[in-house]
Every structure is written in C-alpha cells, then in structure tokens.
Structure 1
C-alpha cells in the first residue's frame, strides 16, 4: 500500500489524511478546498459523479471515506469495482450491510465501522471478553462530550449531527436473555458514576458493529449505550418523538448545529465491562479511560477528532503491514488490541492512557 485517498476533509478527515501522510502518499478529496493548509495534496470534486470518482481512485491502493454515513456507498462501490482497499467510519447498519455484501467478491479489504463506536470500542470489548472461558455479560459504553457542559442538554456537536440523529432514531441491536433482538434507541437509560461524575447511558444504533453476530449463543447480555450528561435522552425523545421531528431530520440537524456548536475542550469517555467465568471462577474485567484534546504536528485536535482519526488510521496501517487480512470484510472485534496499540497511530491511544 503506497497511495491512499482520503475523501471528506472535515474535522476528522483532515486529521486522517494528516496522520496517514507520514506513512503513505495521501491525496484528499472534497467538494471544496479546506480552509487550512494540509500536509498532502487535495483535489475537488463530488462523489455523486461516478465517472470522476473512479478516475480519482484509479491510481490509489486504498481509500478512506470520512463522509457522512449517507454518502459512503458510492465510494465503497467504486473501491470494489477497482479492487482497492476500502475503510470508513460509518455507524449506519444498512450501509455496513451493503458493504459486507460487496466484500464477498472484493479483491481488497472492505472495512467499514473503523471509528470510535463502532470501531475502537469493539476492539476493547473483544480484548476483554477473550480473557474468559465462558461469558455472561458484555456492556460497552462511549461518550463524546463537552468537558464543561452547560444548558439542559449538556451537549455539543463535535462530530456529524447527521450521524448523531441517525443513531438516535434507528433501532439498536442487542443480545438480551441470550436472544439477539432489536430495541429502540434512546431507551434503556441507566446511570453510571465514574469518579464522582454522574452520566446517563442509553441505547443507540450501530455501536456494536457485528458483535451481536459474533457472540450470538455465547453470551446472555450484550449491549452498547451512548453516555451523556443526565437529562439528555429525555430532551431528545421530546424533540424527536413528541414534536415528531424524527420525520424532518435535516431540520433537526440544522437546529442542533446552530444551537450546540462544537467546543474546544471536549472529552471522550470509553467504558467497557465484561463478566463471565475464567475456568470455574466467576470474574469481571473493566476498561475505563477519558481521552482529552492533544497536539499533533503543532496543532491541537479535539478528543473526538483524534480518537476517531487514529482508530481508522491504525487499521489502515495494520492492513498495509499484513497484520490483518488483505481482502474481504473485517470485523472490528477481530482486530487485536495490542497490535492496534503498536501501530504508529494506535500509539496515540497508548500515550493518552499513560498520562
């Protein structure tokens, strides 16, 4: 792998390209030139133009799509047609299902869901549950939040509002009482107290990726929940269901983007719990870490930006190094945590955990 394309140069995409440009020849693509200078070449164009897109990708070995979930499929189809590796950050289940079908006949890797959740949290979860001989519960939690919240919602849109609304509206897959099923998002609210800070956590769509399929028949309880400051879920249920704005997604996105712009000081909480048996002894394993903004190449990046970008960049590295399969669909839970941390970009997580 030598030439890598990064499509979608927003907050995350710009950093993905920056991180990968230390290892590969990177070419970025967006509808318009970015506001700041980037350490790789950039072209302009639209992914809706299939002829242009295929021409752009013709000389590339891999492509990373950092576009909103609803724009990923054209890129995946072009990558599949050209036989190059494909990576994205989507949490959208139908998009992933379509990409998985393509992977059955792909000449390269098809690896969606390489972000934070799904993505990094699945790698953490698998690292924990692989320590057990028999499983009972696997519970995964992630929260991308303002460090200093204000207002009733206690939130700031530091990543795609479209993605947030999508995972709040679509049903979530879980395993409950040993049965794989779908449950409504924004339901199942629980309280979590970490070092005196109280959070609520509730079901959202897509965070588990393919893990329900992987652990079906092996676990009594498996679920993913998004962490927020208390009261958030109630307000979102009011907005989406009592006001029936779930049928006007673009309007909701516009309202929330204007009302809750991104903050500079954010924090990403990652929390995972696994219970089961090690031999004849019942046991519990936990992982918890709070990630804060860091400086990369002299520029400060929000926690949500670098954790997401470093996750997908590390997976690209592992495919390039031959640590992961060279074609077909890659499940996040198949990625070894230690191998992940030992990549150049995965080591950003390791450094943050040591502080």
Structure 2
C-alpha cells in the first residue's frame, strides 16, 4: 500500500511540526487532537483515542499514522492501525509499547510498523548503527543525547521542553545494556561520566529506553553497548536527592508536576548528540565519533525549538524512506536498520545535514 494520506495524532509542538514537514514532503495530511486546534494550512479534527470506533474510522481514511501522543496512548493507536491496515509510526521510548507493536507487526505482515522514530531511540540509533557498519569488529557502541537549555540556571540546570512523564520514567526505570556481549538490566542514573562538546562540559548517566531494540540486535557481536542522557554537571546528584532521599520514587506524577513548575520550557534550547564506536577498523584499533549540537531554527518562516525540529525531522524522514521504497513497507522496522546516508537524503533529513556541526 502506497503512502499518500497521513494522519498525525497529537498536535503539540512536535506533532504540529511533524504535520508541516509531512506536507512539505508532499503528503496529504490531517491532524487529530483531543481538543480543537487551529494550525495554519492543516486540516484538523477532534478525536478521543479512547473512542475505539472513532479511532478506527479515522485511520480507515488514511494510508499511515504518525502518533505523537504520550507513550501510554500509543498501544491503542497501534492496535487500531493493525485492524485498519494503516502503516504505523511513533516516537515512543517505552519498552512495553514497542514490544506490543512488534507483536502486532507479526500478525499484520502487509503493513509496516516503525516505532521509536524520535531522537533516542531513533536518530541516535541510526547514527550509531551507521558508524558501526564500517568496522571489522566492534568492541563498544556508546550513544548519548542531551536536550538542554542553552542558558541553564539553578542546581538542576534544566528545562522541561520534553514530556516530564517521559523524563521521570527514563530516570527511574532500569536500563537495558550490553556488557561482555550479553544483555543486562542495570539501574538508571548510574555509571556517570564527564563529556565535553564544543567546550561545554556535561555529565552523562545511564537512562532507560534510549536504545530501542539495539541490545537484541547486537547481542553477541558487540562487547559493550549503552545509552546515556547528557545533563549539565550536578544534575543527576539533585535528581538522586529528589527520588531517593525525599522518597519520591513512587510519586512519579507528583514529581513531574513539581519539576515542570520549577523548570518550565524555554525557546533557547540545544540538543547535543554524541555517538562513538570503538573496534577494529581496516585492521587497526580505532574510534569513530559523531558529535552534533542542534539549536533552534526557522522552517518556512516559523521558529522551532531544537527538541521539536530534531524529533519531528527524524520521524518524517523515516516516513519518507518507507514511502519512496528505501525501507520495507511491511513488517517491523528497527531504527538500526536505517542508513544515516539514506535519512540525510530525504527532504526532512536534509535539515540534519545543514545544521548541528561542531566547529573544529
């Protein structure tokens, strides 16, 4: 089934731009949200995804859906896509959601299911896997992303430009990693290390969900694989105090509200991306790095935060790759199966090629 008509579920900052980039890439787009939304040049409708009948009716009118909803709503959308035959894409970092999407893909081989099309998982995995392809053998794959304010204040040095619910889950859920070539689960916010990008000092610690399916893919062939989130120095110490010493680990919703109130979103953000692969390359030990710093940009005259455009562009580029036949149009597609070169060649992926490079 060709992809011409696409539904976008969730018209927040990322969803609105996903719809715009899809239109820019030549798709016919309709946007759905839980409340009335007016988006320039976009047909919008109100939809409650808990309404099973209305959800399936909406998807029966399109070829594909990109879900930009909170992670806990995605399974309902994926199941509706399965029932109607629509191709399915999402931005989730939630492991149980992805596992359900994999199950659905096996039962519906004539549609494509591509979850985790954001930054982490998503673009960072595409970058890491593309670096790894040129090695004779791989010792380690280290992946890191940090979505941060350019001008941090306070002890946390942070701003919640992304879902607080998602950030709290990443900080508290155990992390899947590869150690000595085997999959293991380890606590989040551990194994801290110092990182410097363009002269900016950061700290990185393990967080959950950022690897997607990569541990299954590379088990037995890579000795060490992990994903870490980057923050300004001291951040994780403060989060440890909040969750452990104040005993708020089991109060995730409350913590999310407190944090967003204390550190609301900002427009002057930056997304740091750091991927490194070590191993044998052309017969010799070698390390390859891919380091970027993405800042807000204008697209067709409108300004967009770094976290919004990087997430949206990565997702839409994957839709483009399925639509043009570069990626399969059936079954489950892993992010690590996607070539960075192919992604950069799409209309949306070109944004990554023209922005983000670090001055030497």
Mapped partners of 2:11, 2:240: distance in 1: 31
**Is the CA contact 2:178–2:226 (under 8 Å) kept in the aligned structure 1?**
yes
Q: Find the residue that maps to 1:14 and give its secondary structure.
A: helix
Corresponding residue number in structure 2 for 1:11:
13
**Is the CA contact 1:265–1:302 (under 8 Å) kept in the aligned structure 2?**
yes
Mapped partners of 2:209, 2:253: distance in 1: 20
Mapped partners of 2:310, 2:206: distance in 1: 21
Alignment of 1:184-223 (within 5 A): 184-223=187-226
Mapped partners of 1:13, 1:249: distance in 2: 24
Shift of 1:204: 0.5
**Is the CA contact 1:18–1:38 (under 8 Å) kept in the aligned structure 2?**
no
What do the CA deviations read for 1:19-59 (whole angstroms, capped 9, x no partner)? 1012111111101123x533210000210111110011111
State yes or no: 1:77 paired with 2:82: no
What do the CA deviations read for 1:231-281 (whole angstroms, capped 9, x no partner)? 111111221222222212111111111111111100000001110002421
Mapped partners of 1:183, 1:341: distance in 2: 34
Which of 95, 100, 103 is the equivalent residue of 1:101? 103
Structure 2: 5+ residue stretches without partners: none
Mapped partners of 2:151, 2:49: distance in 1: 37
Q: 84-93 or 345-354: which moved more? A: 345-354
**Is the CA contact 2:293–2:357 (under 8 Å) kept in the aligned structure 1?**
no
**Is the CA contact 2:197–2:291 (under 8 Å) kept in the aligned structure 1?**
no
State yes or no: 1:127 paired with 2:130: yes
State yes or no: 1:338 paired with 2:333: no
State yes or no: 1:236 paired with 2:234: no
Shift of 1:193: 1.9
Q: Find the residue that maps to 1:187 and give its secondary structure.
A: coil
Shift of 1:70: 0.7
Corresponding residue number in structure 2 for 1:350:
353
Mapped partners of 2:255, 2:40: distance in 1: 32
Alignment of 1:138-177 (within 5 A): 138-177=141-180
What do the CA deviations read for 1:142-173 (whole angstroms, capped 9, x no partner)? 00000010000000001111111111111111
Measured at CA, do residues 78 and 347 of structure 1 come closer, stay the same or move farther in structure 2, by a change above 3 Å?
same
Length-normalised TM-score, structure 2: 0.96
Mapped partners of 2:306, 2:91: distance in 1: 16
Mapped partners of 2:197, 2:77: distance in 1: 40
Measured at CA, do residues 14 and 329 of structure 1 come closer, stay the same or move farther in structure 2, by a change above 3 Å?
same
Which of 253, 258, 261 is the equivalent residue of 1:258? 261
Equivalent pairs, count: 354
**Is the CA contact 1:6–1:17 (under 8 Å) kept in the aligned structure 2?**
yes
**Is the CA contact 1:21–1:39 (under 8 Å) kept in the aligned structure 2?**
no
What do the CA deviations read for 1:302-349 (whole angstroms, capped 9, x no partner)? 000000000000000011101101111110000011110000000011
Alignment of 1:104-115 (within 5 A): 104-106=106-108, 107-115=110-118
Length-normalised TM-score, structure 1: 0.98
Shift of 1:192: 1.0
Mapped partners of 1:208, 1:39: distance in 2: 35
After the TM superposition, which parts of structure 1 deviate over 3 Å for at least 4 consecutive aligned residues?
Answer: none
Mapped partners of 1:267, 1:306: distance in 2: 11
Mapped partners of 1:55, 1:246: distance in 2: 40
Mapped partners of 1:283, 1:247: distance in 2: 43
What do the CA deviations read for 1:69-123 (whole angstroms, capped 9, x no partner)? 1111100000011111000000011111111111112221111100000000000
**Is the CA contact 1:14–1:38 (under 8 Å) kept in the aligned structure 2?**
no
**Is the CA contact 1:178–1:217 (under 8 Å) kept in the aligned structure 2?**
yes
Q: Find the residue that maps to 2:249 and give its secondary structure.
A: helix
Which of 63, 66, 70 is the equivalent residue of 1:64? 66
Mapped partners of 1:197, 1:261: distance in 2: 22
